[in-house]
Amino acid sequence: MSDVPFGFGPSDRDPDRDRDRPRDESGNKGDKTPDGPNDPFGFGNLPGGGQFPGGIPGFPGGLPGLPGMPGAGGPGGFDVSQLGQMLTQLGQMLSSAQASAGDGPVNYELAAQMATQQLAQTTSSLTDAQRAAVSDAVKLAELWLDPATNFPAGATETVAWTPTEWVKESMPTWKRLCDPVAQRVSGAWVEGLPEEVRAAAGPMLAMIGQMGGFAFGSQLGSGLGQLAAEVLTSTDIGFPVGPGRTAALLPEAVERFTQGLDRPASEVMIYLAAREAAHHRLFAHVGWLRERLLGAVEEYARGITIDTSRIEEIARDIDPANPASIQEAMQSGMFEPQTTPEQKAALARLETLLALIEGWVDAVVAEAVGDRLPGAEALRETLRRRRASGGPAEQAFATIVGLELRPRKLRSAAELWRLLTEDRGVEGRDAIWAHPDLLPVADDLDDPAGFVSHRDTHDPIAELEKQFAADARAAAEAEKTPDSSSDEPKDASEDDGPDEPPTRRS
- pLDDT tens digits for range 451-495: 998 865 555 555 556 666 777 778 887 777 655 444 444 444 444
Per-residue model confidence as pLDDT tens for the chain (506 residues): 444 444 444 434 444 444 444 444 444 444 433 333 333 333 333 333 333 333 333 333 333 333 333 334 444 454 555 556 555 555 544 554 444 445 567 888 888 998 999 898 877 889 999 999 999 999 999 999 999 999 999 999 999 999 999 999 999 999 888 888 887 776 666 666 667 766 766 666 666 666 667 777 888 888 899 899 999 999 998 889 999 999 999 999 999 999 989 899 999 999 999 999 999 999 999 999 999 988 888 888 777 776 656 655 665 665 656 666 655 655 555 445 567 888 888 888 888 999 999 999 999 999 999 889 999 999 999 998 888 777 777 777 776 666 666 667 889 999 999 999 999 999 999 999 999 999 999 999 999 999 998 865 555 555 556 666 777 778 887 777 655 444 444 444 444 444 444 444 43
Buried b (16+ CB within 10 A) or exposed e, 194-227: eeebbebbeebbeebebbbbbbbbbbbbbbbbbb
Q: Please report which helix (H) or strand (E) contains residue 407, including its range.
A: helix 407-430
Task: Evaluate whether 218 touches 110 at the Cβ level (below 8 Å).
Answer: yes
Q: Where are the alpha helices (DSSP H) in 303-403?
A: 308-316, 323-330, 341-369, 376-388, 392-401
What angle do helix axes 289-302 and 163-191 make, rounded to 10 degrees? Answer: 30
Select from 295, 281, 307 the least CA-distant residue to 361: 281
Number of helices (H), then strands (E), belonging to the chain: the values are 19, 4
Residues 6+ apart with CB under 8 A from 188: 304, 305, 306, 337
CA 290 to chain centre: 12
Q: Residue 20: its pLDDT value, please?
A: 46
Q: How many CB atoms lie within 10 A of CB 347?
A: 21
Q: Is the dihedral of CA 126, 129, 134, 135 positive or negative?
A: positive
β-bridge pairing 305-306 and 337-338:
antiparallel
Q: How far apart are CA 465 and CA 471, in angstroms?
A: 10
Nearest to 223 by CA among 120, 119, 115, 117: 115
Closest CA to 269 of 134, 370, 145, 127: 134
Give the Cα separation of 336 and 461 in Å (integer). 44
**Nearest alpha-carbon partner for 66 in 211, 218, 215:** 211
Domain ranges of the chain: 103-303+340-439
User: Rounded to the nearest 5°, which phi and psi values hold at 406?
Assistant: -90, 125
Q: How far is CA 190 from CA 94, 206, 218, 311, in A?
A: 19, 10, 20, 11
Instruction: Please tell me whether residue 61 adopts helix, strand or coil conformation.
Output: coil
Residue type, 130: Q
Alpha-carbon gap, residue 157 to 429, rounded angstroms: 27
Q: CB 350: neighbour CB atoms within 10 A?
A: 23
Confidence at residue 396, expressed as pLDDT on a 0 to 100 scale? 76
Backbone angles phi, psi at 306, to 5 degrees: -125, 135
- pLDDT at site 193: 65
3-state secondary structure of 351: helix
CA distance 491 to 376: 88
Alpha-carbon gap, residue 59 to 41, rounded angstroms: 9
- The rounded distance, in Å, linking the Cα atoms of 246 and 155 is 5
Q: Checking DSSP bridges between strand 157-160 and strand 246-249, what pairing results, if any?
A: parallel
Distance CA 314, CA 257 (A): 48
Burial of 341 (0-12, 13-18, 19+ CB in 10 A): exposed
| Cβ atoms < 10 Å from Cβ of 288 | 12
Separation CA 167–CA 229 (nearest Å): 10
